[in-house]
Chains A and B, each alone.
Chain A
Amino acid sequence: MQESLLEVKNLKTSFSTESGVVTAVDGVTFTVHAGETLGVVGESGCGKSVTAESILQLLNERTTKYEGEINYKGKNILTLNKKQMQQIRGNEIAMIFQDAMTSLNPVFTIGDQITEAITAHMKMGRKEANKKAIDMLSLTGISSPEMRFHEYPYEISGGMRQRAMIAMALVCRPNLLIADEPTTALDVTIQAQILEVINNIKNELNMGIVMITHDLGVIAEVCTHVVVMYLGQVIEDADVESLFSNPAHPYTKGLLQCIPQIDGDRSRQLYTIEGIVPSLDNVPKGCRFSQRCPHSDAKCLNEPPLLEEINDKHKVRCWHYDKI
């Protein structure tokens, strides 16, 4: 097995708020290898984005506490100081944000913003940097990149902005890309194109990708490995085939049943997972999913299960996975 690029070990991110300490990410563990796409899936508020932002330590320094380890190329980046972290961000690990509409600075042209990333991390002349930026733009499949280079974000469409964002993130050729719901704000055709672009560039640069999404279709399309999160915890960790063919956690099963089938029975109502996600400052005592789980019993309500191995490619956090 090849050496891992990113290894998140027992990551715990907590915020101090007015109502006390809230742990948004509680003991998350996963590994990303070079050339591999890891999908992180879960519903809103389950801690996907906080996990992503924890990796780059983008959260408010004064109110956030990180515990555990984030090993990038074997080095724990949680122990780095501000300067060293700046060197990692953008250069080694880059991030694409969810909302391309607001992720570009409105007062600068696309070109200025991309070249800024280059000049911040590499010693390179203006002309050379410009050329590199335009090359990167055309790699993302944007139409007439020379023209877009001199345009302001408000002058181009959402899909183009997302492409510009991708160009900006990838122009320094990072080894790891964190994509935080890169396609949620886009329509399906553009979504497919953007995913293809990300995939192509991944193959070209041999990057590792952490793809954060709530769309299982995206997971099936691009990921090799999947982590399912629920209320700040990893509840299932599997490669993409076994997750879809053989989901072990009742939550994952529920999620998969929620997808409408094009050739399914239309007279039946679509499956829904009952209840709502509990609030983070009122986490259930036992299994975090127990209150909404159709299979839960007294043990589930009282004792929190651990992430257990079903086989070497599949882990699940459930007391009864073998029975259901």
Chain B
Amino acid sequence: MGVNVPIENRDILQTKTQLKKERFRLFVRRFLNNRLALIGSSIMIFLLLFVSFSLLFMNSSPLEIDPANRLHAPSSEHWFGTDTFGRDLFSRVVHGGFVSLAVGFSATIITAIIGMIIGLYASYYKFLDHILMRICDGLLAFPDVLLAIAITAVLGPRPINVVIAITVVKIPTMARIVRSSALVIKEQTYIEALKAQGASSWRTLWMHIAPNTLSPYIVQITNVFASAIILEAGLSFLGAGVPAPEPSWGNILYDGKVVIFNAWWMTFFPGVFIVLSVLGLNLFGDGLRDLLDPHTNKANK
């Protein structure tokens, strides 16, 4: 480490900022060296910027019908062409992207929080473990899409209900990941040492076990995000998700299905965006896993 100034000449705060800066620089270097994380995050940033800038500067509405210009191929006027009602596909894809990403993101965040709580408590209290994990087993027994359809069928096809459906479907996986790593951490000597210091179970659980489960948890979050986007697209495609005429990548695909042989752009563009976002998230997740887990970390200069 490049600490050359004698310690006595500096105060604690300075040492601290110095160490922090150095750790940060090291992290940035490792991140830039990690190709997967770099590509994945570039794709995600590109998508986010694309969607938000287009939303800001776009003048055409995604709902404006123009029957005279239906099913036009991509042109300088309509970059992605128009759909069966003559609506501008570019604006629909961008708006749909916003809806899809927002639904996916909020579902992921809620899943992450509830999954963490369930996983941690299940690992710590044997009694809760039996109850919570059996419920999770029950939920895991259903295929994802089927369960999600069942939930939206009951609650009605609205974006908020799609979020609820995805959350319910994804919580068991999340809770299991947290629980399994928390079970390992719980048996570590430092947790016993903590107890010997008089720490309450709340403190042990949240201040010490939780941070140690973070790295597999964060990686899992990116995976859940990716599959939430797919699940949302699937639900909307089947008519159980975001309802028409409100656009989402899934229901644009559904509209395009009917005319797939004479208007390729209707399936191509939303499809490309779904692929890009899922690919980006998965690459980013893989990269993060390598970055956060010192065991898979190759010594790179």
Is B7's CB under 8 angstroms from A144's CB?
yes
* Secondary structure call for the B interface: helix
- Does B35 belong to the interface (CB within 8 Å)? no
Interface assignment of B296: CB less than 8 Å from any CB of chain A: no
Listed stretches B11-19, B40-48, B156-164, B231-239; interface member? B11-19
Contact between B7 and A147, CB atoms less than 8 A apart: yes
A89 touches B197 (CB 8 A): yes
Chain B 22-36 near chain A by CB (<8 Å), digits 1 or 0: 000000000000000
Q: Say how far B124's CB is from chain A's closest CB, in angstroms.
A: 12
* Complex Cα–Cα for A107 and B217 (A): 15
From A56, A90, A150, B15 is in contact (CB under 8 Å) with: A150
Known interface pairs A97-B189, A150-B19; A121-B12 also in contact (CB < 8 Å): no
Which residues of chain B are within 8 angstroms of A117 by Cβ–Cβ distance? 197-198
User: With A144-B7, A147-B7, A150-B16 in contact, is A102–B189 under 8 Å at CB?
Assistant: yes
B12 pairs with A86, CB closer than 8 A:
no
Q: Which has the most chain B C-beta neighbours within 10 Å: A85, A90, A94, A121?
A: A90
Determine if A87 and B198 form an interchain contact, defined as CB atoms under 8 angstroms apart.
yes
B196 touches A149 (CB 8 A): no
Max chain B Cβ within 10 angstroms of own Cβ: one of A91, A146, A149:
A146
A95 within 8 A of B: yes
| Contact, CB under 8 Å: A151 / B19 | yes
* Size category, B interface: 20 to 34
Interface residues in A, total, Cβ within 8 A? 36
Across the interface, A58 reaches (CB within 8 A) one of B16, B195, B207, B214, namely B195
Closest to B11 in A: A146
Q: How far is the CB of B188 from chain A (nearest CB, A)?
A: 6
A86 CA to B198 CA, complexed, in Å: 4
Bound Cα distance from A105 to B197, whole angstroms = 13
Give A114 Cβ to nearest chain B Cβ, in Å.
Answer: 10
B192 at the interface (CB under 8 A from A): yes
Tell whether B301 is near chain A: CB-to-CB under 8 Å: no
Q: Is the CB of B7 within 8 A of A95?
A: no
Alpha-carbon separation in the docked complex, A95 to B211 (Å)? 24
Specify the chain A residue showing the minimal Cβ separation from B188: A102
Residues in B whose Cβ lies below 8 Å from that of A58? 192, 195-196
Least CB distance from B177 to A in Å reads 17
Chain B residues with CB below 8 A from A91, complex form: 198
Tell me if B264 counts as interface (CB < 8 A to partner A): no
CB of A94 within 8 A of CB of B196, answer: yes
**C-alpha spacing A146/B10, complex, angstroms:** 10
A134 within 8 A of B: yes
> Which residues of chain A are near B126, meaning CB under 8 Å?
62
Contact of B190 among A95, A105, A121, A147 (CB under 8 A): A105
Query: With an 8 A cutoff between CB atoms, is A165 at the interface?
Result: yes
Which residue on A lies nearest to B215, using beta carbons? A107
Interface residues of A in 52-71 (CB under 8 A from B): 56, 58, 62
29 contacts between A and B (CB under 8 A): A56-B195, A58-B195, A58-B196, A86-B198, A89-B196, A89-B197, A90-B197, A94-B197, A95-B193, A95-B196, A99-B189, A102-B189, A103-B189, A105-B194, A105-B208, A107-B211, A107-B212, A108-B208, A116-B207, A117-B198, A120-B197, A120-B203, A121-B198, A130-B12, A144-B7, A147-B15, A150-B15, A168-B193, A168-B197
Q: Which chain B residues have a beta carbon within 8 Å of chain A's beta carbons?
A: 3, 7, 11-12, 15-16, 19, 126, 188-190, 192-200, 203, 207-208, 211-212, 214
